[in-house]
Structure 1
Amino acid sequence: MAAATKVLVVDDSLTMRALLSGALERIPNVVVVGSADGADEARSMVESLHPDVMTLDVEMPGMSGLEYLAEIMEKRPMPVIMFSTRTEAGAEASIEALRLGAIDCFPKPKVAVAAEFDKILAKLGKRIKAAKGANVRGASKKKAQAAAPLDWNGRLLAIGGEAASTNAMFDLFSTFPANCPPTVVVQHLGGGLAATLIDKMSAEIAPRIVLAEDGMTVEQGVIYLAAPGDAHVVVDGWPNGRLRMLPRDPVAGERPSISILFASVAKACGTEAIGLLLGADGEDGDAGVRALQAGGSYSVIPMENHALGFTLQRKLATQPVPMDQLSATILKLCSR
């Protein structure tokens, strides 16, 4: 049996620390090795207890959770799951936390009782176990330059990723020209965060980014982000494709599903598609990549050691893609 995942809980509220620790201890093969009331106490516990994962409150007196997260990612990167309030300000803080390198951000329960934590326990446990040993990285400090205008060859780009892919998406899209390839994104974000992510990205990237809606024409120069909800997003037809929303059951607990998007793209576009998987946990995405391969599409997937980069695949051919060459590779595949 694998060694238990060690978690350090950081929150300025004694009640929240106790409730969250109690909830985490109910997850099989997860052990809470300590709890801290703020950054100062957490620093010493990280050194002495060597946790695999940290849960961190965004709103704390003194050094805020965001400030401490930035310090962690700069000095000693480790998987961090954030907790934030269910407010507009909380959504903005959640997106900033994901951009800084947090692997996920959960809303704090409205009422500090054990039953509220039970509602998120399954997903929280899944994220914690997937986080153990993950390669994490902070936000890029160097502002990227957008690439030259694209001489587009007609290929569609479909992207799938976890909440932890947020900083990678910021890095990637900041290099895209305004006339980027039409791009459809499924990201496993918490409810209510997609609109905030779009607002924040819109101010920093050259292409237009919008919330995916049923019936939208898929156009060059636009990034379509599917929000979590009651439907999957698919691409119908190519060229001159449209987005369709399918109200079907979740796949591997996720809706919209990366695999369903990728499978629809493989069917609609065939060889005129590229699927990019950004660090998904394997439960949603793998089947979609297989569909892309069967349809003759390109797929770009993380190497087993994600820190090394990605692998470009088409049928039986494969090619390594270093992390710093991801954008250039994608844009080249979409160029004449």
Structure 2
Amino acid sequence: MAAATKVLVVDDSLTMRALLSGALERIPNVVVVGSADGADEARQMVENLRPDVMTLDVEMPGMSGLEYLAEIMEKRPMPVIMFSTRTEAGAEASIEALRLGAIDCFPKPKVAVAAEFDKILAKLGKRIKAAKGAAVRAAAAKAPPAPPLDWNGRLVAIGAEASSTQAMFDLFGTFPANCPPTIVVQHLGNGLAATLIDKLGAEIAPRIVLAEDGMAIEQGTIYLAAPGDTHVVVDGWPNGKLRLLPRDPVAGERPSISILFASVAKACGTEAIGLVLGADGEDGDAGVRALQGGGSYSIIPAENRADGFTLQRKLASQPVPADQLSKSILKLCQR
């Protein structure tokens, strides 16, 4: 049996620390090694207890959770899961936390009772176990956009977890304004997609929009599918459209990476590139197989994630360092 995942809980509320610690202790193979009321106490506990994962409150007096997260990622990167309020300001803080390198960001329960934590326990446990040993780093310096693209007609489809937000800022920040049409399914918390679009839209050259049923798929646009009641698929290519389909979740996720990728493989065949950014394997594997079966390019995390990515097409395979990801995608989309 694998060693238990050690978690440190950081929150200025004694009640929240107790409730969250109690909830986490009910997750198999997870142990809470300590709890801290703020950054000062947490720093010492990190050194003494060596936790695998930290949960961190965004809104704390003194040094805020976001400020402490930035310090962690700069000085001693480790997997961090944030908790934030359900307000508009909380959504902005959540996206900023993810951009700084947090693994995920959960809304704080509306009422501080154990039953409220039970509602998120399964997803929280899944994220904590996936976070153990995850490669985390400080946000990179902003790179300039690539030169204009002489597009060859290929579509880009991306599947991502919340933990991939930082990577998406890096990737899309280097896309030119006339980037290949790009469709993104990211497993974000409810209410965060619109805020992510606003934040990305202010920093990148291409247009980024919320995916809607019947939208034409156009060059220079990134389409982000929001979590909700529908999956997103590509209908026809070239001159394709987006369709939103009300079907059951796949591996607990809706929209599903696998359903998007399978539709891309069917519609585009060899004229597509599928990129997996940090998906945990439960949603995405079948889609990658569909892409490979249809002759599309697929780019997936390397077996040792510190090595970056692996570009595959049919029987061919080659490594792609993380800092060459954007250049590799744009090269595949260049005439």
Greater CA drift, 154-163 or 129-138 = 129-138
Aligned to 1:109: 109
TM-score of the superposition, structure 2-length normalised? 1.00
Q: Which runs of 5+ in 2 are unaligned?
A: none
Aligned to 1:41: 41
TM-score of the superposition, structure 1-length normalised? 0.99
Deviation at 1:308, TM superposition (A): 1.4
For residues 212 and 305 of structure 1, what CA distance do their matches in structure 2 show? 33
Q: How does 1:315-326 map to 2 (within 5 A)?
A: 315-326=314-325
Q: Percent identity of the aligned residues?
A: 89
Aligned residue type for 2:116? E
Q: How does 1:18-167 map to 2 (within 5 A)?
A: 18-140=18-140, 142-167=141-166
Deviation at 1:117, TM superposition (A): 0.3
For residues 308 and 13 of structure 1, what CA distance do their matches in structure 2 show? 40
Deviation at 1:143, TM superposition (A): 1.8
Deviation at 1:245, TM superposition (A): 0.6
For residues 159 and 137 of structure 1, what CA distance do their matches in structure 2 show? 21
Task: Tell me the alpha carbon deviations over residues 257-316 of structure 1, each in whole angstroms, 9 at most, x when there is no partner.
Answer: 001100000000000000000010010111110000000000000001212110000000
For residues 124 and 135 of structure 1, what CA distance do their matches in structure 2 show? 18
Aligned to 1:192: 191
Aligned residue type for 1:168? A
For residues 59 and 253 of structure 2, what CA distance do their matches in structure 1 show? 28
Deviation at 1:138, TM superposition (A): 2.0
Aligned residue type for 1:255? R
Aligned residue type for 2:280? D
Deviation at 1:139, TM superposition (A): 1.1
The 3-state SS of whatever aligns with 1:332 is helix
Aligned residue type for 1:23? A
Asked if 1:239 is matched to 2:235, the reply is no
For residues 3 and 239 of structure 2, what CA distance do their matches in structure 1 show? 51
The 3-state SS of whatever aligns with 1:244 is strand
For residues 58 and 138 of structure 1, what CA distance do their matches in structure 2 show? 18
Aligned residue type for 1:333? L
Aligned length: 335
For residues 53 and 23 of structure 1, what CA distance do their matches in structure 2 show? 15
The 3-state SS of whatever aligns with 1:271 is coil
For residues 67 and 134 of structure 2, what CA distance do their matches in structure 1 show? 22
For residues 303 and 297 of structure 2, what CA distance do their matches in structure 1 show? 18
Asked if 1:275 is matched to 2:277, the reply is no
For residues 27 and 16 of structure 1, what CA distance do their matches in structure 2 show? 17
Q: Which runs of 5+ in 1 are unaligned?
A: none
The answer to whether the 8 Å contact 1:138/1:167 transfers is no
